Structure 1
């Protein structure tokens, strides 16, 4: 069961990622997840993330899919869409990744909008649609600029043939 203490141990494990070997880290995450129900969405998501972060990207997708099917919610639901789309892009399924990104964008807006835009831009580039990807990245960047937000958005729109706002 995911508890506050479990979450603290999870955070501590993620802190050690770079100090551990790939297989060692994944096994440690599996061991931690084994303390939960086998279909606990949070545990499945974290095991997927452990695989993803250590280069076992294809395996990660299966865990991510199971986490979503098990009812993953909250901020981890948003994160799973970003991480799974990225994994799909890198394992030869960029079109499926774009569909997932579009579905996630339709769910609403939050602090992960920039990460979602980054994933979309990279996926568009993977598909040879670099101008669209650059446009997405510039629109996401614009609100963080101290000035030139409107100009940046208009230049980005122009890259893909849209009229200025």
Structure 2
């Protein structure tokens, strides 16, 4: 972990900060970051966390445009998609999350969780439940196979 990583983490991990204080501190660390994509990503996250989704969206897009390491890229896509859902742009959120799920990777299940939320926002609660249960099934100590089968039953016929 670099010094900048530690500094960002310290701000995010401080429960005593208000949203405004966190935003100011993230912006201060971002000035020293030296990585424009990472800076935009962290600044977007601070705004998103503070409920300023309209300000977060262009920063997420800028971070993705500039190029992030794959782990941060996946986080930025998921967070941007969540922001779009909150802004009422559910179809765009679903497109981003569908692509991220298809890509796979370590945040596949996180992408699935937000995909389920977007499906619910789109008025498709059965598909949302199916996606959520399908992501959960492998982690159940018992009944994972049964939950996975039930999740498949909830999927709409195509």
Normalising by the smaller structure, the TM-score range is over 0.9
Give 1:53's aligned residue: 49
Structure 1: distance between partners of 2:134 and 2:18: 38
Give 1:4's aligned residue: 2
Structure 2: distance between partners of 1:132 and 1:139: 10
Segment drifting more, 121-130 vs 100-109: 100-109
Structure 2: distance between partners of 1:95 and 1:125: 12
Q: Summarize the alignment of residues 1-165 of structure 1 with structure 2, pairs less than 5 Å apart.
A: 4-16=2-14, 18-37=15-34, 40-110=36-106, 112-161=107-156
Contiguous gaps of at least 5 residues in structure 1: none
Structure 2: distance between partners of 1:71 and 1:52: 20
Aligned to 1:86, the other structure's residue is in SS state: helix
2:4–2:33: 8 Å Cα contact kept in structure 1?
no
Structure 2: distance between partners of 1:74 and 1:158: 33
In the TM superposition, residue 60 of structure 1 has moved relative to its aligned partner by 1.0
Aligned to 2:10, the other structure's residue is in SS state: helix
Measured against aligned partners, the alpha-carbon deviations of 1:63-111 in whole angstroms (never above 9, x if no partner) come to 100000001122111111111111110111010000001111222231x
In the TM superposition, residue 161 of structure 1 has moved relative to its aligned partner by 4.0
Structure 1: distance between partners of 2:77 and 2:55: 15
Aligned residue pair count = 158
Structure 1: distance between partners of 2:55 and 2:95: 20
Q: TM-score, normalised by structure 2?
A: 0.92
Measured against aligned partners, the alpha-carbon deviations of 1:15-53 in whole angstroms (never above 9, x if no partner) come to 22x32232222121111111134x611111011111111
Aligned to 1:124, the other structure's residue is in SS state: helix
Aligned to 2:92, the other structure's residue is in SS state: helix
CA-atom RMSD, angstroms?
A: 1.7
